[in-house]
Amino acid sequence: MNKKILCYLFFLPIVFFLTNCSSKEEFDKYYARPDDLEDPIFQQLEARGNFTNLTALIEKAGYKDILGKSGYWTMMAPNDAAFAEFFQEQGISGVTSIDSTMASKIVRYALIYNGFRTERLSDYQSAIGWEEDNAFRRRTAYYDGFQTKTVNGNAIVVAGSNRNNGPGADYYIPGDNNNKYISYFVTEYMDALGLSAFDYEYFYPESNYTGFNVLAGKTVQADIVAENGIIHEVDKVSLPLINVDQKLEESPEYSIFRDLLETNLVEYVFDQDATDTYQNFTRKSDEVYVKVYDPALFFSPNNENYIKEADNDGQYDAYTLFVPENTVFQKFIDDVLLKNYTALDKLPKYIFEDLYNAHMVQNAVWPSLLPTYSNGLEEDIRLDINTDIIEAEVLSNGFFYGTNKVQESNLFFSVYTSAYLDPDFTLATRLYNDGSGYREIISNISANYTLFLPSDEILREHGYEYNINREEWVYTSPETGNTVAGTLARSRLLRVLYNGIVPTPNGELNDLSGSGIIRSGDFDLAGEYIKWENNQVWAAGNEIEGTRVNIIGFEDQRNGRTYYIDDILEFSEETQGQELFDLAIGGGPSSGYFNFMRYLYSSSLYDQETGSISGVELGTFYTFAIPNNEAVLQAVADGQLPATPTGAPNFNPSNPEEIEQVESFIKYHILATRTASDDGLVTGQTETLLKDFEGNKTYINVISAPGELSFIDSANRIANYIPGDSNHLADRTLIHLIDNYLLYTE
């Protein structure tokens, strides 16, 4: 290019600039720093004169340039009086004795991302906007980073999980430094949650709640506006708080709790992303391992990020861990965990998972609100804030409570525990735990139960097994050798074990020396009836087979008694009609069921080969209210059943009207969908098998109370059960003899 042209092009902007001075002045004026703009944070602190120690540490930490220019920060700034106290507490002569590492900790932990006035500190920055008065924490500029630790005798570089290791979750996200949070206590948040000075001073007994406290300190002057953020002057120096994981590591008084946790529920997993970051930053060749907590745990104690369902959710909540001190925890190990196991390493992993989840809460548990929280097993916190807590501390990622008591979890203090913590009952435990809902029933420490518990040996003798490889239940009939697997096998065992679960709110089965009948299952989900006599029990299947189950031991728990049994409480696979036939024919004409059975036997409702009754299905709940011989004769005399010309019962009528009469009579005495006994559990209108001429259901009114059972028909007539010949067991059915027949009228 021609040099003259090049020079012309070079000088042209200068000429333009010099001939447009007025435009430049306007430009400078427009973009000049406003005269009334406050100085940046560093200059503000320097000018005020009472932050000389802090400004010295800011320079030593290399943050003078950051805090002296643009940006947007909140600084919880300790004044010189705060440092004087800090030096004395730490045994430090002065700021010159603090190295750059500690200086960086103090400065970075005092720095909160973004500028927040007092009125905004209590608000949560959610994804949809500000949620007022819903925050008490903010993320700081400080994080621990990579640390060298000795694990299993080897020195390795470790990073903490920065996510909770739930199912399918990634426990380490590259680029997330796991920044620590700082907590503060302001009036708006405390009032919104119904908290008071008690909640603050419980954690900081040597401090007074003022309405704006930062950890153990108080705010001297709030809302000092700077060009690059907000300064809150505080009267305490705060070193970065440790997290829950670090608290356990540094506390020998809780070492047994930690050792059990580390041994069974912690892994150190090599991570390539973390290794690349570390090696690029340090120029070292070490590999990095992430400390990973078991995914079944409610949270990872080394994760600073809370749930991370939203980026800032650590502003409004945190974790809580309750930790029993060594003496009480060792006693729990000896008395409970090792009652039936020879060593801790013999326990299944899920026991440790449950134990630690029982002491974890995925919320910040405020002292005054402790009874309102639930642990990782969805149980109440069964600790008294006034008597059971020996230490309370606010940490960087949550609250820590040292206790003189183990959380009395349902799983470790209920009748469920008898199976759960005994290797002889793994089959029953597996079924209780597999979503059946049985665990939730029998481990409910607020309700009393009696549990009849068969061992693995007994269940296997009866053909039940679990195939680990196929992850399915298997049943092989001891009589036929036929095998079923999967749902069918599981359903059989579910029914067997449900026969052994009995709600006993008043300890009704604590003494089995007498005799009686009681319904198994839960109050909300009825089971079948079982009987007892002279320390033996039996269910419908046992009654039909003529066998009884012996009690070979028992154990009392917080919510009832577990009986160990030498056989299973077998359900019946015989039809209800066959059982009724056996009751009637087995006793001959003297049986109170004889006349009714003769009508049933000859009717088209009854299958004489199988004993099944039309409309009556196996596996469905029924009540048979069978009129005795005298009542049947009265029905014949009243014209409700067919008779011969001489007036005797016509058990085999051929007239279609009489056949229909017999069938209707029989159906009206079979109550569908419910099993009623003399225990008061089933009362009120109950459907029968009979349908009226328009196909509508008909009903019998059941009146039940302890020792009493009556049936009221549509004509308002009453039939009472005959106690000595009632409560016969059949497939999900009770068969009662009653002293009157039931009459249906339109």
Alpha-helical segments (H) within 486-641: 487-498, 540-545, 576-586, 594-602, 629-637
Please check whether residue 742 is in contact with residue 713, taking contact to mean a CB–CB distance below 8 angstroms: yes
**Tokens 């030498």 -> residue:** 566
* pLDDT computed for residue 168 by the predictor: 81
Mean pLDDT of 90-105: 96
Q: State the burial class of residue 3 (Cβ atoms within 10 Å of its Cβ: 0-12, 13-18, 19+).
A: exposed
Contacts of residue 426, Cβ cutoff 8 Å, sequence gap at least 6: 456
Asked whether residue 111 carries a pLDDT value surpassing 90, the answer given is yes
Domains of the chain, residue spans = 1-32, 41-143+213-239, 260-403, 414-565, 576-738
Count CB neighbours of 630 within 10 A: 13
Give the angle 584-587-588 at the CA atoms, nearest 5°.
80
**Structure confidence at residue 36 as a pLDDT band (50, 70, 90):** low
Q: Tell which residue, 593, 599, 668, has the closest CA to residue 626.
A: 593
Q: Tell which residue, 675, 629, 673, has the closest CA to residue 651.
A: 629
Q: What share of the chain is helix, strand, coil (3-state, %, to 5)?
A: 35, 25, 40
Asked whether residue 304 carries a pLDDT value surpassing 90, the answer given is yes
* pLDDT computed for residue 459 by the predictor: 98
Asked whether residue 326 carries a pLDDT value surpassing 80, the answer given is yes
Asked whether residue 70 carries a pLDDT value surpassing 90, the answer given is no
* pLDDT computed for residue 564 by the predictor: 98
- Token pair of 498, please? 């449900």
Mean pLDDT of 715-725: 97
The conformation of residue 97, written as its DSSP 8-state character, comes to: G
3-state secondary structure of 539: coil
> Which region among 13-17, 305-309, 356-360, 621-625 has the lowest average model confidence (pLDDT)?
13-17
| Integer Cα distance of 625 and 634 in angstroms | 16
Read off the pLDDT of residues 543-576 as tens digits, 9 standing for 90 and up. 999 999 999 999 999 999 999 999 999 999 999 9
Count CB neighbours of 722 within 10 A: 15
**Structure confidence at residue 447 as a pLDDT band (50, 70, 90):** very high
Asked whether residue 157 carries a pLDDT value surpassing 60, the answer given is yes
Topology of 41-143+213-239 in CATH? FAS1 domain (2.30.180)
> Which region among 34-48, 186-200, 216-230, 513-527 has the lowest average model confidence (pLDDT)?
34-48
**Tokens 């807590």 -> residue:** 389
* pLDDT computed for residue 25 by the predictor: 60
CATH code matching the domain that covers 576-738, chosen among 3.30.365.10, 3.30.460.80, 2.30.180.10, 3.40.50.2300: 2.30.180.10
Asked whether residue 276 carries a pLDDT value surpassing 90, the answer given is yes
**Structure confidence at residue 28 as a pLDDT band (50, 70, 90):** low
* pLDDT computed for residue 11 by the predictor: 38
* pLDDT computed for residue 26 by the predictor: 59
Mean pLDDT of 455-474: 97
* pLDDT computed for residue 130 by the predictor: 96
Would strands 229-234 and 73-78 be described as parallel, antiparallel, or unpaired?
A: parallel
Asked whether residue 274 carries a pLDDT value surpassing 70, the answer given is yes
Asked whether residue 630 carries a pLDDT value surpassing 70, the answer given is yes
**Structure confidence at residue 87 as a pLDDT band (50, 70, 90):** very high
| Integer Cα distance of 553 and 548 in angstroms | 16
* pLDDT computed for residue 31 by the predictor: 47
| Integer Cα distance of 161 and 148 in angstroms | 15
The conformation of residue 296, written as its DSSP 8-state character, comes to: T
Return mean pLDDT, the chain. 94
Mean pLDDT of 530-538: 97
**Structure confidence at residue 524 as a pLDDT band (50, 70, 90):** confident
Mean pLDDT of 168-182: 94
- Backbone φ and ψ for 464, nearest 5 degrees, come out as -100, 135
Q: Mark 530-559 as b/e (b = at least 16 C-beta within 10 Å).
A: bbbeeebbbbbbbbbeeebbebeebbebeb
- Backbone φ and ψ for 293, nearest 5 degrees, come out as -90, 150
315 sits in which H/E element: none
3-state secondary structure of 647: coil
Asked whether residue 66 carries a pLDDT value surpassing 60, the answer given is yes
Helical packing angle, 487-498 and 426-433, nearest 10°: 100
Read off the pLDDT of residues 573-599 as tens digits, 9 standing for 90 and up. 999 999 999 999 887 788 999 999 999
Domain covering 414-565 in this structure, CATH number: 2.30.180.10
| Integer Cα distance of 538 and 471 in angstroms | 31
- Token pair of 239, please? 């070193």
660 conformational bin, left if phi > 0, alpha if psi -120 to 50, beta if neither: alpha
Mean pLDDT of 651-663: 95
Mean pLDDT of 378-401: 97
Is it true that 41-143+213-239 and 260-403 share their CATH fold? yes
Topology of 260-403 in CATH? FAS1 domain (2.30.180)
Mean pLDDT of 658-676: 97
**Structure confidence at residue 37 as a pLDDT band (50, 70, 90):** confident
* pLDDT computed for residue 5 by the predictor: 38
* pLDDT computed for residue 16 by the predictor: 39
**Structure confidence at residue 19 as a pLDDT band (50, 70, 90):** very low
| CA 725 vs CA 134, 543, 627: distances in Å | 66, 15, 11
* pLDDT computed for residue 523 by the predictor: 84
Asked whether residue 29 carries a pLDDT value surpassing 70, the answer given is no
Mean pLDDT of 65-76: 94
* pLDDT computed for residue 15 by the predictor: 40
Please check whether residue 205 is in contact with residue 177, taking contact to mean a CB–CB distance below 8 angstroms: no
466 conformational bin, left if phi > 0, alpha if psi -120 to 50, beta if neither: beta
